[in-house]
Amino acid sequence: MSEADRFVVCASHSPGMARDVDRVFGPKFRAGIDQVRDLVDAFAPDVVVLFGGDHRRAFRNIVPSFAVALSAGIMAEAGHPAGRLRVPAELSRALADRLLDAGFDIAVCREIELDHAFAQPLRDLTAGLDAYPVIPVPINCATAPLPTPERVLEFGAAVGQFLDGIAERVLVIGTGGLSHSPPSLEVDTHDISDEDRARIIAAGFEAAAQKINPEWDGAFLDAMASWDTTRLVDLVRVARAEAGVGANEVRTWLAAGAAGGGKPFETIAYEPVEKWITGMGLAIS
């Protein structure tokens, strides 16, 4: 498969967007999502490779830097029911084998339950969770120590080398960021209950809404526009300090861009949405 048979989409996600069922907030971002969904439909992928982070829900006691799921479900969340992903087991296993051969000691996951980091981009950009076969590729973006941005770029490039050898048309998605600092991730613990998580989020919501950093977001999107990996690495290294703990999720953007061949990105939309406590960005390559 050539790089022309890959379409890369990087997008922010937010539970607040899913709860905003009346579509009151984020009109620019929502319009961009509608535009990119049409492009995805026209591209008509055979399979989706989805780089997503974890919010200390799927991985609590054992946290791999990189993983490949051979089967996966989606947990019920933000008014959405639980669901299943159509993971192409043979292709997913082939990717895992290729990554191990390339020197990445990945974790292989079966029957893992993933959250909105994986569900939301599929619901937003496609007809639903089961619209296409999906290979979930979790990257640790929440629980220190995190993989370095340089290693993430290498990992994404290794996925891209695997994609070079298959016939399928691939939609590559990176999901997370941009600047935001979810209260539940600011707490440095891995084992809080869902009830405590909800309490912490509610108590810290107003403060989190003020932690969006459009300047950092703009610099990151600008670096993506030229695929300036030196600048991207520098920005990711200061992400938590300058853009909040949730900004670490842009590691998924680096992986997706590298898997797509390291081409420049076009920014489709950017909008800081305080009610979603996130700088919402959307870019394609």
From 87, 2, 17, select the one nearest 50 (Cα to Cα). 87
Strand, coil or helix: 281: strand
> In which band, very low, low, confident or very high, does the pLDDT at 192 lie, cut at 50, 70 and 90?
low
What CATH number has the domain spanning 3-284? Answer: 3.40.830.10
pTM > 0.85: yes or no: yes
Stretch 184-193: mean pLDDT: 62
The residue behind tokens 């997913």 is 92
Active site residues: 116, 180
What confidence tens digit (pLDDT) does each residue in 224-258 have?
Answer: 999 999 999 999 999 999 999 899 999 999 999 99
What confidence tens digit (pLDDT) does each residue in 131-152 have?
Answer: 999 999 999 998 899 999 999 9
Token pair belonging to 211: 């932690």
| Long-range Cβ pairs for the range 181-186 (8 Å, 24+) | 181/208, 181/211, 181/244, 181/245, 181/246, 181/247, 181/277, 182/55, 182/208, 182/244, 182/245, 182/246, 182/277, 183/207, 183/208, 184/55, 184/56, 185/55, 185/56, 185/142, 185/245, 185/246, 186/245
